[in-house]
Structure 1
Protein backbone atom coordinates (compact mmCIF):
# COMPACT_ATOMS: atom_id res chain seq x y z
CA UNK A 1 0.00 0.00 0.00
CA UNK A 2 1.00 3.64 0.36
CA UNK A 3 3.34 5.56 2.62
CA UNK A 4 1.52 8.34 4.51
CA UNK A 5 2.99 11.27 6.42
CA UNK A 6 0.54 12.42 9.11
CA UNK A 7 1.38 16.00 10.14
CA UNK A 8 -0.01 17.74 13.21
CA UNK A 9 0.36 21.51 13.07
CA UNK A 10 -0.78 22.05 16.65
CA UNK A 11 1.57 23.79 19.09
CA UNK A 12 -0.11 22.16 22.11
CA UNK A 13 1.29 19.08 23.84
CA UNK A 14 -2.27 18.11 24.81
CA UNK A 15 -3.64 18.79 21.36
CA UNK A 16 -7.01 17.35 20.34
CA UNK A 17 -5.86 17.81 16.75
CA UNK A 18 -2.80 15.59 17.23
CA UNK A 19 -4.79 12.98 19.14
CA UNK A 20 -7.42 12.92 16.41
CA UNK A 21 -4.72 12.45 13.78
CA UNK A 22 -3.12 9.56 15.68
CA UNK A 23 -6.61 8.01 15.97
CA UNK A 24 -7.08 8.31 12.20
CA UNK A 25 -3.54 7.00 11.61
CA UNK A 26 -4.63 3.73 13.22
CA UNK A 27 -7.41 3.38 10.64
CA UNK A 28 -4.95 3.97 7.80
CA UNK A 29 -2.54 1.41 9.26
CA UNK A 30 -5.38 -1.11 9.56
CA UNK A 31 -6.02 -0.55 5.84
CA UNK A 32 -2.42 -1.54 5.09
CA UNK A 33 -0.75 1.86 4.76
CA UNK A 34 2.57 2.71 6.37
CA UNK A 35 2.03 5.86 8.47
CA UNK A 36 4.72 8.17 9.85
CA UNK A 37 3.43 10.66 12.43
CA UNK A 38 5.00 14.12 12.57
CA UNK A 39 4.20 16.65 15.28
CA UNK A 40 5.55 20.00 14.06
CA UNK A 41 5.82 21.17 17.68
CA UNK A 42 8.70 18.66 18.09
CA UNK A 43 10.83 20.45 15.47
CA UNK A 44 13.35 22.77 17.15
CA UNK A 45 11.88 26.27 17.37
CA UNK A 46 15.12 27.90 16.25
CA UNK A 47 15.03 25.95 12.99
CA UNK A 48 11.48 27.10 12.28
CA UNK A 49 11.77 30.69 13.49
CA UNK A 50 15.12 31.36 11.82
CA UNK A 51 14.08 29.62 8.57
CA UNK A 52 17.11 27.33 8.81
CA UNK A 53 16.68 25.29 5.63
CA UNK A 54 19.91 23.42 6.35
CA UNK A 55 19.02 22.38 9.90
CA UNK A 56 19.32 18.58 10.16
CA UNK A 57 15.74 18.20 11.41
CA UNK A 58 14.37 20.33 8.57
CA UNK A 59 16.39 18.25 6.10
CA UNK A 60 14.98 15.07 7.66
CA UNK A 61 11.40 16.39 7.55
CA UNK A 62 11.84 17.43 3.90
CA UNK A 63 12.89 13.85 3.20
CA UNK A 64 9.77 12.52 4.93
CA UNK A 65 7.62 14.63 2.63
CA UNK A 66 9.60 13.49 -0.41
CA UNK A 67 9.16 9.79 0.43
CA UNK A 68 5.43 9.99 1.23
CA UNK A 69 2.78 8.97 -1.28
CA UNK A 70 0.15 10.84 0.71
CA UNK A 71 0.05 13.48 3.40
CA UNK A 72 -2.55 14.13 6.08
CA UNK A 73 -2.30 17.72 7.32
CA UNK A 74 -4.09 18.44 10.59
CA UNK A 75 -4.32 21.84 12.21
CA UNK A 76 -6.28 23.68 14.83
CA UNK A 77 -7.92 26.81 13.47
CA UNK A 78 -6.83 30.08 15.04
CA UNK A 79 -8.35 33.38 13.87
CA UNK A 80 -9.91 31.71 10.80
CA UNK A 81 -6.65 30.19 9.55
CA UNK A 82 -4.37 27.22 10.07
CA UNK A 83 -1.74 27.44 12.81
CA UNK A 84 1.32 29.64 12.51
CA UNK A 85 3.43 26.65 13.51
CA UNK A 86 2.19 24.73 10.47
CA UNK A 87 2.79 27.81 8.29
CA UNK A 88 6.39 27.97 9.54
CA UNK A 89 7.00 24.40 8.44
CA UNK A 90 5.27 24.73 5.08
CA UNK A 91 7.38 27.83 4.36
CA UNK A 92 10.58 25.80 4.85
CA UNK A 93 9.63 22.99 2.49
CA UNK A 94 10.58 23.09 -1.17
CA UNK A 95 8.03 24.96 -3.32
CA UNK A 96 6.72 21.75 -4.88
CA UNK A 97 7.10 19.41 -1.90
CA UNK A 98 3.61 18.00 -2.47
CA UNK A 99 3.95 17.33 -6.20
CA UNK A 100 2.11 14.17 -7.15
CA UNK A 101 0.93 13.52 -3.60
CA UNK A 102 -2.58 12.87 -2.38
CA UNK A 103 -3.35 15.24 0.50
CA UNK A 104 -6.06 15.14 3.16
CA UNK A 105 -6.54 18.45 5.00
CA UNK A 106 -8.18 18.24 8.45
CA UNK A 107 -8.94 21.00 10.93
CA UNK A 108 -10.32 21.34 14.43
CA UNK A 109 -11.81 24.40 16.05
CA UNK A 110 -14.19 25.78 18.57
CA UNK A 111 -16.91 27.08 16.27
CA UNK A 112 -18.48 26.29 12.92
CA UNK A 113 -17.56 29.85 11.90
CA UNK A 114 -14.11 28.39 11.11
CA UNK A 115 -15.30 25.54 8.91
CA UNK A 116 -14.20 27.28 5.70
CA UNK A 117 -10.60 27.67 6.91
CA UNK A 118 -9.72 24.45 5.08
CA UNK A 119 -10.96 25.70 1.72
CA UNK A 120 -9.97 29.36 1.99
CA UNK A 121 -6.72 29.21 3.99
CA UNK A 122 -5.16 25.74 3.81
CA UNK A 123 -6.21 24.31 0.44
CA UNK A 124 -4.66 27.16 -1.63
CA UNK A 125 -1.27 26.65 0.06
CA UNK A 126 -1.39 22.88 -0.48
CA UNK A 127 -2.32 23.45 -4.10
CA UNK A 128 0.50 25.96 -4.61
CA UNK A 129 2.90 23.30 -3.29
CA UNK A 130 1.93 21.03 -6.17
CA UNK A 131 -0.41 18.57 -4.46
CA UNK A 132 -1.52 16.07 -7.08
CA UNK A 133 -4.91 15.49 -5.51
CA UNK A 134 -6.39 17.23 -2.48
CA UNK A 135 -9.29 15.13 -1.25
CA UNK A 136 -12.28 16.63 0.51
CA UNK A 137 -11.10 17.83 3.90
CA UNK A 138 -12.98 17.79 7.17
CA UNK A 139 -13.49 20.20 10.06
CA UNK A 140 -14.24 18.73 13.49
CA UNK A 141 -15.55 20.82 16.37
CA UNK A 142 -13.48 20.69 19.55
CA UNK A 143 -16.59 19.74 21.53
CA UNK A 144 -16.86 16.56 19.43
CA UNK A 145 -13.41 15.38 20.54
CA UNK A 146 -12.93 14.28 24.14
CA UNK A 147 -10.08 12.62 25.92
CA UNK A 148 -10.94 10.47 28.90
CA UNK A 149 -8.99 10.20 32.14
CA UNK A 150 -7.53 7.01 30.70
CA UNK A 151 -6.11 9.01 27.75
CA UNK A 152 -8.44 7.37 25.23
CA UNK A 153 -9.94 9.51 22.52
CA UNK A 154 -13.67 9.63 21.92
CA UNK A 155 -15.27 11.32 18.93
CA UNK A 156 -18.97 12.19 18.82
CA UNK A 157 -20.82 9.62 16.65
CA UNK A 158 -21.77 11.94 13.77
CA UNK A 159 -18.25 13.39 13.57
CA UNK A 160 -16.72 9.92 13.86
CA UNK A 161 -18.79 8.63 10.94
CA UNK A 162 -17.86 11.62 8.79
CA UNK A 163 -14.17 11.16 9.60
CA UNK A 164 -14.33 7.46 8.69
CA UNK A 165 -15.77 8.39 5.30
CA UNK A 166 -13.15 11.09 4.70
CA UNK A 167 -10.26 8.81 5.69
CA UNK A 168 -11.62 5.95 3.59
CA UNK A 169 -11.92 8.29 0.59
CA UNK A 170 -8.31 9.39 1.15
CA UNK A 171 -7.21 5.75 1.40
CA UNK A 172 -8.99 4.89 -1.85
CA UNK A 173 -7.39 7.87 -3.59
CA UNK A 174 -3.99 6.71 -2.33
CA UNK A 175 -4.64 3.32 -3.89
CA UNK A 176 -5.08 5.04 -7.25
CA UNK A 177 -2.19 7.52 -7.01
CA UNK A 178 0.52 5.78 -4.92
CA UNK A 179 1.80 3.65 -7.83
CA UNK A 180 2.14 6.79 -9.97
CA UNK A 181 3.95 8.66 -7.19
CA UNK A 182 6.32 5.73 -6.64
CA UNK A 183 7.10 5.59 -10.36
CA UNK A 184 7.81 9.33 -10.34
CA UNK A 185 10.23 9.01 -7.40
CA UNK A 186 12.03 6.12 -9.13
CA UNK A 187 12.50 8.11 -12.34
Structure 2
Protein backbone atom coordinates (compact mmCIF):
# COMPACT_ATOMS: atom_id res chain seq x y z
CA UNK A 1 0.00 0.00 0.00
CA UNK A 2 1.30 3.44 -0.92
CA UNK A 3 1.89 5.87 1.90
CA UNK A 4 1.11 9.57 1.98
CA UNK A 5 2.84 11.58 4.68
CA UNK A 6 1.17 14.78 5.83
CA UNK A 7 3.34 17.43 7.49
CA UNK A 8 1.64 20.15 9.49
CA UNK A 9 3.56 23.37 10.08
CA UNK A 10 0.88 24.81 12.32
CA UNK A 11 1.90 25.43 15.93
CA UNK A 12 -1.74 25.98 16.98
CA UNK A 13 -3.70 23.31 18.83
CA UNK A 14 -6.89 23.90 16.84
CA UNK A 15 -6.16 25.34 13.44
CA UNK A 16 -7.75 25.62 10.04
CA UNK A 17 -4.56 24.21 8.55
CA UNK A 18 -4.89 21.03 10.61
CA UNK A 19 -8.55 20.71 9.66
CA UNK A 20 -7.66 20.92 5.97
CA UNK A 21 -4.86 18.37 6.36
CA UNK A 22 -7.10 15.80 7.99
CA UNK A 23 -9.64 16.33 5.22
CA UNK A 24 -6.97 15.84 2.53
CA UNK A 25 -5.78 12.73 4.36
CA UNK A 26 -9.33 11.38 4.37
CA UNK A 27 -9.55 11.91 0.60
CA UNK A 28 -6.31 9.95 0.10
CA UNK A 29 -7.49 7.14 2.40
CA UNK A 30 -10.73 6.88 0.40
CA UNK A 31 -8.53 6.12 -2.61
CA UNK A 32 -6.72 3.31 -0.78
CA UNK A 33 -3.62 5.12 0.48
CA UNK A 34 -2.31 4.85 4.02
CA UNK A 35 -1.78 8.24 5.63
CA UNK A 36 0.68 9.22 8.34
CA UNK A 37 0.49 12.61 10.05
CA UNK A 38 3.52 14.53 11.31
CA UNK A 39 3.03 17.77 13.20
CA UNK A 40 5.59 20.29 14.34
CA UNK A 41 3.69 20.27 17.64
CA UNK A 42 4.90 16.69 18.24
CA UNK A 43 8.59 17.62 18.11
CA UNK A 44 10.52 18.71 21.17
CA UNK A 45 10.94 22.49 20.89
CA UNK A 46 14.54 22.24 22.08
CA UNK A 47 15.38 19.87 19.24
CA UNK A 48 14.12 22.46 16.78
CA UNK A 49 15.52 25.51 18.54
CA UNK A 50 19.00 24.07 19.01
CA UNK A 51 19.07 22.16 15.70
CA UNK A 52 19.49 18.74 17.27
CA UNK A 53 20.33 16.73 14.16
CA UNK A 54 20.79 13.63 16.32
CA UNK A 55 17.32 13.73 17.85
CA UNK A 56 15.65 10.30 17.52
CA UNK A 57 12.38 12.05 16.58
CA UNK A 58 14.07 14.06 13.80
CA UNK A 59 15.74 10.91 12.47
CA UNK A 60 12.38 9.11 12.55
CA UNK A 61 10.72 11.95 10.63
CA UNK A 62 13.50 11.97 8.03
CA UNK A 63 13.16 8.22 7.52
CA UNK A 64 9.37 8.49 7.22
CA UNK A 65 9.65 11.27 4.63
CA UNK A 66 12.29 9.39 2.62
CA UNK A 67 10.04 6.32 2.39
CA UNK A 68 6.87 8.24 1.51
CA UNK A 69 5.28 7.85 -1.89
CA UNK A 70 3.88 11.37 -1.68
CA UNK A 71 3.86 14.21 0.83
CA UNK A 72 1.43 16.98 1.67
CA UNK A 73 2.99 19.95 3.49
CA UNK A 74 0.81 22.64 5.02
CA UNK A 75 1.49 25.86 6.85
CA UNK A 76 -0.55 28.83 7.89
CA UNK A 77 0.72 32.12 6.52
CA UNK A 78 2.79 34.09 9.01
CA UNK A 79 4.29 37.42 7.93
CA UNK A 80 3.81 36.53 4.24
CA UNK A 81 5.59 33.17 4.61
CA UNK A 82 5.34 29.72 6.22
CA UNK A 83 5.59 29.22 9.96
CA UNK A 84 9.02 29.56 11.56
CA UNK A 85 8.63 26.22 13.31
CA UNK A 86 8.12 24.48 9.93
CA UNK A 87 11.30 26.15 8.67
CA UNK A 88 13.14 25.01 11.80
CA UNK A 89 12.07 21.44 11.07
CA UNK A 90 13.19 21.53 7.44
CA UNK A 91 16.47 23.20 8.45
CA UNK A 92 17.55 20.11 10.40
CA UNK A 93 16.33 17.47 7.94
CA UNK A 94 18.71 16.07 5.31
CA UNK A 95 18.96 18.31 2.24
CA UNK A 96 17.64 15.63 -0.12
CA UNK A 97 14.94 14.21 2.17
CA UNK A 98 12.21 14.90 -0.42
CA UNK A 99 14.22 13.97 -3.50
CA UNK A 100 12.05 12.83 -6.41
CA UNK A 101 8.96 12.80 -4.20
CA UNK A 102 5.79 14.51 -5.31
CA UNK A 103 4.75 17.13 -2.78
CA UNK A 104 1.43 18.94 -2.61
CA UNK A 105 2.07 22.31 -0.92
CA UNK A 106 -0.86 23.77 1.00
CA UNK A 107 -1.24 27.09 2.82
CA UNK A 108 -3.99 28.83 4.74
CA UNK A 109 -4.23 32.56 5.25
CA UNK A 110 -6.54 35.31 6.34
CA UNK A 111 -7.18 36.69 2.87
CA UNK A 112 -6.32 36.35 -0.81
CA UNK A 113 -3.56 38.92 -0.37
CA UNK A 114 -1.33 36.17 1.05
CA UNK A 115 -1.84 33.79 -1.87
CA UNK A 116 1.64 34.37 -3.28
CA UNK A 117 3.24 33.00 -0.10
CA UNK A 118 2.58 29.58 -1.61
CA UNK A 119 4.69 30.32 -4.72
CA UNK A 120 7.29 32.63 -3.22
CA UNK A 121 7.89 31.00 0.17
CA UNK A 122 6.68 27.42 0.64
CA UNK A 123 7.43 26.02 -2.83
CA UNK A 124 11.03 27.33 -2.86
CA UNK A 125 11.62 25.79 0.58
CA UNK A 126 10.37 22.42 -0.65
CA UNK A 127 12.38 22.74 -3.87
CA UNK A 128 15.60 23.14 -1.85
CA UNK A 129 14.75 19.77 -0.30
CA UNK A 130 14.59 18.32 -3.84
CA UNK A 131 10.79 17.92 -3.86
CA UNK A 132 8.74 17.62 -7.02
CA UNK A 133 6.32 20.46 -6.25
CA UNK A 134 2.82 20.35 -7.63
CA UNK A 135 0.61 23.40 -8.15
CA UNK A 136 -0.62 23.48 -4.56
CA UNK A 137 -3.66 24.72 -2.72
CA UNK A 138 -4.34 27.96 -0.88
CA UNK A 139 -7.28 28.47 1.46
CA UNK A 140 -8.60 31.67 2.96
CA UNK A 141 -9.85 31.36 6.52
CA UNK A 142 -13.38 32.02 5.24
CA UNK A 143 -13.14 28.89 3.01
CA UNK A 144 -12.78 26.61 6.05
CA UNK A 145 -15.30 25.62 8.71
CA UNK A 146 -13.35 24.74 11.86
CA UNK A 147 -16.20 22.90 13.58
CA UNK A 148 -18.87 21.76 11.11
CA UNK A 149 -19.28 18.62 9.06
CA UNK A 150 -18.24 20.33 5.83
CA UNK A 151 -14.60 21.37 6.13
CA UNK A 152 -14.59 23.40 2.93
CA UNK A 153 -17.59 25.70 2.70
CA UNK A 154 -17.22 27.00 -0.87
CA UNK A 155 -18.23 24.59 -3.65
CA UNK A 156 -15.67 25.94 -6.15
CA UNK A 157 -12.87 25.61 -3.58
CA UNK A 158 -14.04 22.08 -2.75
CA UNK A 159 -13.99 21.09 -6.44
CA UNK A 160 -10.52 22.62 -6.89
CA UNK A 161 -9.32 20.70 -3.84
CA UNK A 162 -10.62 17.36 -5.10
CA UNK A 163 -9.11 18.00 -8.52
CA UNK A 164 -5.66 18.79 -7.05
CA UNK A 165 -5.73 15.79 -4.71
CA UNK A 166 -6.70 13.50 -7.59
CA UNK A 167 -3.87 14.92 -9.68
CA UNK A 168 -1.44 14.42 -6.77
CA UNK A 169 -2.52 10.79 -6.35
CA UNK A 170 -2.27 10.16 -10.12
CA UNK A 171 1.30 11.52 -10.12
CA UNK A 172 2.20 9.19 -7.25
CA UNK A 173 0.79 6.20 -9.17
CA UNK A 174 3.20 7.07 -12.01
CA UNK A 175 6.21 7.15 -9.65
CA UNK A 176 7.55 3.60 -9.84
CA UNK A 177 10.49 2.40 -7.76
CA UNK A 178 11.53 5.90 -6.73
CA UNK A 179 11.90 7.10 -10.34
CA UNK A 180 9.50 9.55 -11.84
CA UNK A 181 7.87 8.15 -14.97
CA UNK A 182 7.09 10.78 -17.57
Alignment TM-score, normalising by the size of structure 2: 0.93
Quote how far apart the aligned CAs of 1:147 are: 2.2
Whether the 8 Å CA contact 1:19–1:153 is kept in 2: the answer is no
The reply to whether residue 155 of structure 1 matches residue 134 of structure 2 is no
The reply to whether residue 180 of structure 1 matches residue 177 of structure 2 is yes
Q: Between Structure 1 and Structure 2, how many residues are aligned?
A: 179
Whether the 8 Å CA contact 2:72–2:103 is kept in 1: the answer is yes
Quote how far apart the aligned CAs of 1:120 are: 0.6
Whole-Å separation in 2 of the counterparts to 1:146 and 1:168: 22
Structure whose residues are more often helix by fraction: 1
Per-residue CA deviations over 1:84-118 (Å, capped at 9, x if unaligned) read 11101110110111111010000000011110111
Whole-Å separation in 1 of the counterparts to 2:63 and 2:127: 19
Runs of 4+ in 1 over 4 A off after TM superposition: none
Q: Could you tell me which runs of 5 or more consecutive residues in structure 1 were left unpaired when the two chains were aligned.
A: none
Partner of 1:134: 133
Q: Could you tell me which runs of 5 or more consecutive residues in structure 2 were left unpaired when the two chains were aligned.
A: none
Whole-Å separation in 1 of the counterparts to 2:94 and 2:149: 36
Whether the 8 Å CA contact 1:69–1:182 is kept in 2: the answer is no
Give the root-mean-square deviation of aligned CA atoms. Answer: 1.5
Alignment TM-score, normalising by the size of structure 1: 0.91
